[in-house]
Chain A
Amino acid sequence: MKREWTFGRRLAAAFGLAVVILAVMAGSGYRATTSLIENNGWVDHTFQVRTQLANLLSELLDAEGGQRGYTITGDESYLAPYQAALGAVQTSVGNVRSLMADNPVQQQRLTGLAPVIDAKLAKLKDIIDARRSQGFDAAAKLVADGQGKTLMDQIRSTIHDADQEEATLLQQRTQVAEDSARLAIAFTLWGGLLGALAIILIGWFMTRALTRQIGGAVGHVRSSSAELQSAANQQASGMKEQTISMNEIATTISELLSTSRQIAESSQRVAQIAEQTASAARTGDGTVDKAHESITGIKRQVDQIVGHMLELGKKSQQIGSVLDIVSELAEQTNILSINATIEAAGAGETGKRFAIVADEIRKLADRVAGSAKEVRGLIDDVRSSVNTTVMATETGSKAVDAGSRQFSEVAAAFKAIASLVSTTTEAAREIELSTKQQTTAVEQVNVAISNVTQAARETEASTTQTLETASLLAVTSSDLLRLVQARAEAA
């Protein structure tokens, strides 16, 4: 916890502890001094009470002395102390009463004393009045009755008791005041010693802790400054290389700028060619549609041809069937003619002419058979040709189908190509625009690179300065560490 405290907090805690110790000491001293002053006040009070009591008794004695002088001499001038004491007695009684307000016993005693004082003063007045009006004897008589003495003795006794009471109180209060004074002295002396010791201890602990911590920190600062120096060295060399690289980059960017301009011109030409291609593709699309219609017509015609050829094949087959009948009839005719010839040969001379007819019929039948055979060959040729033609036509039909499909695919592909060409045109335009923007951007980059090169040069200068500062910091941290460690060793 303490290790996490900051220096300010630690110092504040240390000074706070010192302030608390001082405050405790001050409070204790204040309290002891206050108590001492209060006790001294009570001692003064007791002295005042005793002084007032002495004054009261003195004034009563002055009044009695004045009465006695006047009684003896009859001289009015002796009444001056009596006259002065009349007012002073009342004042003294009031003072004593107010001073004894805190003591009920003394109050009660004073309450009992007041009528006696009044009676004494009245007695004195009666004696003076008797002397003045009746002469010395009357006055001596009043004096001799002893009442005045009794009252005076009673007053003296009461004041003596009160004074004794106050003397006792004075003794007690003096003792208390001495105790307070000793306590104040003790607080002042031992508190000061303890406070000084505590502050010395706090200072020692603070110095030790701060020396250790600051020493560590300064060590870190020294190693960090060494690292910083090394890093600044590397940074300086790096900044030199960076400056060189930035120069090369600036050269490359310039070449890139010229290349980018060439690309922009080329892309413009590409966009023009792409537009021409798109126009050609649109024309080609129409041509492809017409060709597709033609291929569909060819397919229809080929289908009709296949139908006709199949019909022709069927007809050829029917002709073959008819030819079979003809051949059979020719064969039967031949057989009949031969049999007729045989019969005619058996008929002798009569049958010779019939034999000639029969022979002619036979020849005719032979020719019919030959012709039928020839027709059979021709029909076979026709059927073979028809079959070949049908197969070829079917192959052609399939080829036309395949061609139609392929042409559809070609048409679709051509449409896709046309679409792609238009897309390509748009892309070429975008490329042209982008390349122009790129050229502008490269120009901006060129400017920025120039700025960066300038900044790199400035940074190089700053790095050199940083290197010097780091070296200075390293020296300063070494000095500081030496100072801190020297202090620590001294402590």
Chain B
Amino acid sequence: MMDERTSYADRVAEMRQAFDRSFAEPPRSELRETESFLAVRLGNDPYAIRLTETAGLFADRKVIRLPSPIPELRGIAGLRGAVLPVYDLSALLGYPSASAARWLVVARGASVAFAFEAFDGQLRIDLTAVVSHDGGTSREHVREAARTADLIRPIVNLPSVLAAIGQRMPAAGQQREQKR
């Protein structure tokens, strides 16, 4: 009991020192080239999303469902004063539609949000650890993979996903016109 208490006190002290040190140290220059990723799970499989391809991360936002010919469109959500369409990222990657997707990520440079099931955290990975993943998976929109200490996460290419959505939109509009 005493050992555990000492251990917890040590950890608290270490955390406090690290936090203070981060402010005390001068701005350090990155010695190695790194890149930030969002570690997510799609259909229970680990994936990574480049932070530079995102414009924001949100949790537990209300998504209003809309009738749509695109089955991957979950609805619309109000994010930072704008109404954005929300697509199911798992469905777009060929997984069954996720029943409960509480996380939303907004794509950079496009007013589109993607919903996914779980968020594992933020990763900072050496560029050397980012490898091509062309022959490793059959999933669409996955061309690279980020290798972490314990596993390999395929990297979802959001621009590719956006392009695919953009390609499907005219087809959807034509279908709508034909129905009219």
> Contact residues of A with B, CB < 8 Å?
331-332, 334-335, 337-339, 341-342, 345-346, 352-353, 356-357, 359-360, 362, 364, 366-367
Q: In the complex, how many angstroms separate the beta carbon of A182 from the nearest chain B beta carbon? A: 167
Nearest B residue to A369 via CB reads B121
A341 and B51 contact, CB distance less than 8 A: yes
Cα A366 to Cα B54 with chains together (Å): 20
Residues in B neighbouring A366, C-beta threshold 8 A: 121-122
Cα A26 to Cα B59 with chains together (Å): 168
A335 and B22 contact, CB distance less than 8 A: no
Cα A359 to Cα B36 with chains together (Å): 10
Nearest A residue to B22 via CB reads A360
Q: In the complex, how many angstroms separate the beta carbon of A373 from the nearest chain B beta carbon? A: 12
A339-B122 contact in complex given A345-B51, A360-B19, A364-B19, C-beta closer than 8 Å: no
Q: In the complex, how many angstroms separate the beta carbon of A359 from the nearest chain B beta carbon? A: 8
A335-B121 contact in complex given A360-B19, A360-B22, A364-B19, C-beta closer than 8 Å: no
In-complex Cβ contact of B52 among A338, A345, A352, A367 (8 A): A345
Residues in A neighbouring B19, C-beta threshold 8 A: 360, 364
Q: In the complex, how many angstroms separate the beta carbon of B80 from the nearest chain A beta carbon? A: 10
Q: Does B57 contact A (CB under 8 A)?
A: yes
> Contact residues of B with A, CB < 8 Å?
15, 19, 22-23, 27-28, 36, 38, 51-52, 54-59, 108, 121-122, 124
Residues in A neighbouring B15, C-beta threshold 8 A: 364, 367
A342-B54 contact in complex given A356-B27, A360-B22, A364-B19, C-beta closer than 8 Å: yes
Residues in B neighbouring A362, C-beta threshold 8 A: 122
A335 and B27 contact, CB distance less than 8 A: no
Cα A332 to Cα B54 with chains together (Å): 17
A339 and B51 contact, CB distance less than 8 A: no
Nearest B residue to A355 via CB reads B36
B122 and A341 contact, CB distance less than 8 A: yes
Interface secondary structure of A, over-half rule: helix
Q: A345-B51, A357-B22 are in contact. List 14 more A-B contacts (CB 8 A).
A: A334-B122, A335-B57, A335-B59, A337-B122, A339-B56, A339-B57, A341-B36, A342-B54, A342-B55, A342-B57, A346-B108, A352-B27, A359-B124, A360-B22
A to B contact number (C-beta, < 8 Å): 45
Max chain B CB contacts within 10 Å: which of A339, A346, A357, A364?
A: A339
Residues in A neighbouring B51, C-beta threshold 8 A: 338, 341-342, 345
Nearest A residue to B106 via CB reads A342
Cα A367 to Cα B17 with chains together (Å): 13
Return the 3 tightest CB-CB contacts between A and B, nearest first.
Answer: A360-B22, A338-B57, A339-B56
Interface secondary structure of B, over-half rule: strand
Nearest A residue to B29 via CB reads A352
Cα A34 to Cα B45 with chains together (Å): 177
A338 and B58 contact, CB distance less than 8 A: no
Q: In the complex, how many angstroms separate the beta carbon of B14 from the nearest chain A beta carbon? A: 10
Residues in A neighbouring B23, C-beta threshold 8 A: 360
A334 and B56 contact, CB distance less than 8 A: no
Residues in A neighbouring B36, C-beta threshold 8 A: 341, 345
Nearest B residue to A368 via CB reads B15
Q: In the complex, how many angstroms separate the beta carbon of B30 from the nearest chain A beta carbon? A: 9
Residues in A neighbouring B54, C-beta threshold 8 A: 342
Cα A366 to Cα B121 with chains together (Å): 8
Max chain B CB contacts within 10 Å: which of A332, A338, A357, A366?
A: A338
Residues in B neighbouring A353, C-beta threshold 8 A: 27
Cα A12 to Cα B24 with chains together (Å): 166
Residues in A neighbouring B58, C-beta threshold 8 A: 335
A338 and B59 contact, CB distance less than 8 A: no
Residues in B neighbouring A334, C-beta threshold 8 A: 121-122
Q: In the complex, how many angstroms separate the beta carbon of A351 from the nearest chain B beta carbon? A: 12
Nearest B residue to A364 via CB reads B19
Nearest A residue to B38 via CB reads A338
Cα A341 to Cα B57 with chains together (Å): 11
Residues in A neighbouring B108, C-beta threshold 8 A: 342, 346
Cα A352 to Cα B23 with chains together (Å): 14
Residues in B neighbouring A364, C-beta threshold 8 A: 15, 19
Cα A332 to Cα B108 with chains together (Å): 21
In-complex Cβ contact of B122 among A338, A346, A352, A356 (8 A): A338
Nearest B residue to A336 via CB reads B57
Residue contacts A-B, CB under 8 angstroms, 21 given = A331-B59, A332-B59, A334-B121, A335-B58, A335-B59, A337-B122, A338-B57, A339-B57, A342-B54, A342-B56, A342-B57, A342-B108, A345-B52, A352-B27, A356-B28, A357-B22, A359-B124, A360-B19, A360-B22, A362-B122, A366-B122
Q: In the complex, how many angstroms separate the beta carbon of A41 from the nearest chain B beta carbon? A: 169
Nearest A residue to B80 via CB reads A339
Cα A332 to Cα B56 with chains together (Å): 13
Residues in A neighbouring B55, C-beta threshold 8 A: 342, 346
Cα A362 to Cα B36 with chains together (Å): 12
Residues in B neighbouring A346, C-beta threshold 8 A: 55, 108
Nearest B residue to A337 via CB reads B122
Cα A337 to Cα B122 with chains together (Å): 10
Cα A279 to Cα B42 with chains together (Å): 84
Q: In the complex, how many angstroms separate the beta carbon of B113 from the nearest chain A beta carbon? A: 13
Cα A163 to Cα B125 with chains together (Å): 215
Cα A346 to Cα B58 with chains together (Å): 18
Q: In the complex, how many angstroms separate the beta carbon of A470 from the nearest chain B beta carbon? A: 114
Residues in B neighbouring A352, C-beta threshold 8 A: 27
Q: In the complex, how many angstroms separate the beta carbon of B108 from the nearest chain A beta carbon? A: 8
Q: In the complex, how many angstroms separate the beta carbon of B119 from the nearest chain A beta carbon? A: 9
Cα A360 to Cα B58 with chains together (Å): 19
Cα A68 to Cα B27 with chains together (Å): 245
Cα A353 to Cα B23 with chains together (Å): 11
Residues in B neighbouring A367, C-beta threshold 8 A: 15
Residues in B neighbouring A332, C-beta threshold 8 A: 59
Q: In the complex, how many angstroms separate the beta carbon of A476 from the nearest chain B beta carbon? A: 124
